[in-house]
Amino acid sequence: MKVLITGAAGFIGSHMAERLQREGFNVVGLDNFSDYYEVSLKDLNKAALEQQGIKTVKMDLRNSEDFEKLELDFDFIIHFAAQPGISASSTFEEYLSNNFTGTQNLMEFAHRNKRLKHFFNISTSSVYGLEATHPENAAPQPASFYGVTKLAAEQLVLAQSRTKKMNASSLRLYSVYGPRERPEKLYTKLITCAFREKSFPLFQGSEKHLRSFTYVGDIVEGIFKAVQKHHEINGEIINLGTEDEYTTQEGIDLVQELLGIEIDLELVPKRAGDQWHTRANINKAKKLLDYQPSTTLKEGLQLQINWYKSNFL
């Protein structure tokens, strides 16, 4: 079967592409190679995919004419591409165009694929708001442009399921880390600062934030199970993450322990819209997908450190 993955040269999308290729799927990736972070890092991911026979097409979902580059024979679409995270340098227009308009264009393309079995929207715990500890039926309360536009995109997709125009689901991910994590994210930035002997900018008060830090391999496993059980989860919203929670400070301490390096922490003003508590409620994922994340934070961070050493030292 053939699957289209948007954001395939990014962090989680590249891992998902590799997993599906190993399982015998014919994978085509899309990415706009945005300069939100260094394009060379996406090029590195693209090269890794190409070595495994996975094609990555450069295109922007916001440009509807770009879809003419694609065939109309996909069985599944997995939509990772988005303007990511909470960033003072990103405007509302960038979040809106990338996360909402891009999704709408992709939906229109999806309708033209007559053999499409399922559309998977990749969402985020940020739709819950500052405290993301809820089951999927809780009322969303996003507190950032990112969360607001990701929720809007999710509803855009699920509307297709409600009106029986397309089978679709949305998977809400929690604090994903691991090899290929974006450079501005917590653990890659910590590891980089440690090896380059630079100060790590710590948002004021964030050392007490609680997170469901989830290893990328466990997230990929959950999405793969969703693909396998697609006929059972039409219209569903499903949380994917770990029930284990750590403070940011505990994560910092663990990185220092694994590296044997003390990292200088520089306090900077707190970030607006930053979640103070996430704990993945995965009862639904356990029931519907038999989802059982198993990678400890220490194990996952060691794998991330090994990846960083192999590629940047």
Q: Is 177 designated active site?
A: no
Q: Which of 47, 45, 54 is nearest to 22 (CA)?
A: 54
SS3 content of the chain, % helix, strand, coil (to 5): 45, 20, 40
- Alpha-carbon distance of 75 to 11, in angstroms, equals 23
- Alpha-carbon distance of 258 to 304, in angstroms, equals 11
- Alpha-carbon distance of 95 to 149, in angstroms, equals 6
In Å, how far are 47, 268, 277, 313 from 262, measured between CA atoms?
33, 19, 26, 18
- Alpha-carbon distance of 150 to 155, in angstroms, equals 9
The DSSP line for 190-203 is: HHHHHHHT--EEEE
- Residue whose structure tokens are 């809400």: 172
> How far is Cα of residue 186 from the mean position of the Cα atoms in its chain?
14
The active-site residue, picked from 36, 95, 128, 146, is: 146
251, 289, 160, 147: CA torsion to nearest 10:
-10
Which residues, 6+ apart, have CB-to-CB distance to 128 below 8 Å?
134, 138, 140, 141, 142, 147, 172, 278
Which residues, 6+ apart, have CB-to-CB distance to 250 below 8 Å?
none
Structure tokens at 167: 């089978």
- Alpha-carbon distance of 210 to 204, in angstroms, equals 14
Could you list the active site residues? 146
